[in-house]
Amino acid sequence: MQGQIKPSLWMERWPAPAKLNLLLQIVGRRPDGYHLLQTVFQFIDLCDWIRFHPQEDGVVSLLKTIPGVPEAEDLTVRAANLLKSATGCQQGVCIEVQKNLPMGGGLGGGSSDAATTLVVLNKLWDLGLSTERLIELGLTLGADVPVFVFGHAAWAEGVGEVLEKIVVPESWVVVIRPDCHVNTGEIFNAKELTRDSKSIKIADFIAGQHNNDCADVVCERYQVIKDAMLDLSVFAEARLTGTGSCVFAEFESESTAIVAFKSLSSKWQVFLAKGVNESPLLSKLKGCELFF
């Protein structure tokens, strides 16, 4: 158990990266109401950072809670407790989260935090669960958790849990975070939302098809997001990630991305990032010899 892991690994800081939806199609709806999707996930090198501190009392706790989120409802706490209940593990942990990703922005911050907790504690607690089992557990926490456990850019179907590795250009990205919170449930329940898009293949995406079926509905209901897309589109094609609120554009070079970033920074909260196909978490695990 814990004694088999180098003590120094408990001192490491672990990334929980953001994701972008490079495509989002709604191709149907299950009887239980969940939407059937086709999407492409890619990570960007913008991350929350998490440290795990062992606790001998077997309790899972947070070093510092997020305002408005009860500790028991925090996704990292839920993920750690889920691991304990699934394996019978008696160990405890205090979780320290440095939040950099905006909440409710469509970047998957909470889901990524949960995935990092699942993946890293599985190693630190020496539980031996497979990636497939961690994905199953992660799906019970949220539809975006599986891809963060998967650890690679992916073509995704189902509700987002059927994943196939994909390699896409690792472009520079400018992300605008409008000052609003999109109610995802409201968007997916909107009467005008397209729910019968024609299924496409990976080759269609690679050829340039990358629509987001939620974009028109979101822009119609949130003027500030529409404004952000208009401002960003001056520099490159502006796209919505997930149901937003964040919008992004890809750039072929760092220099052109920086020009857009600097120009937009006076009006918007803006992030400059690099698209990456391998999750920073997976890269970190390999570097720490925890990948096997």
pLDDT given at position 170: 98
pLDDT given at position 6: 63
pLDDT given at position 139: 95
pLDDT given at position 4: 53
pLDDT given at position 67: 87
What CATH number does domain 2-166 carry, 3.50.50.60, 3.40.470.10, 3.30.230.10, 1.20.272.10?
Answer: 3.30.230.10
pTM: 0.94
Write out the catalytic residue numbers.
19, 144
Domain boundaries, the chain: 2-166, 172-276
For residue 243, give every residue at least 6 positions away whose Cβ sits within 8 Å of its Cβ, in sequence order, or none.
106, 182, 184, 187, 188, 214, 218
Per-residue pLDDT in tens (0 to 9) along the chain, 292 residues: 344 566 678 889 999 999 999 999 999 998 888 899 999 999 999 999 999 999 999 999 999 998 888 999 999 999 999 999 999 999 999 999 999 999 889 999 999 999 999 999 999 999 999 999 999 999 999 999 999 999 999 999 998 889 999 999 999 999 999 999 999 889 999 999 999 999 999 999 999 999 999 999 999 999 999 999 999 999 999 999 999 999 999 999 999 999 999 999 999 999 999 999 999 999 999 888 655 4
Q: Which CATH architecture has domain 172-276?
A: 2-Layer Sandwich (3.30)
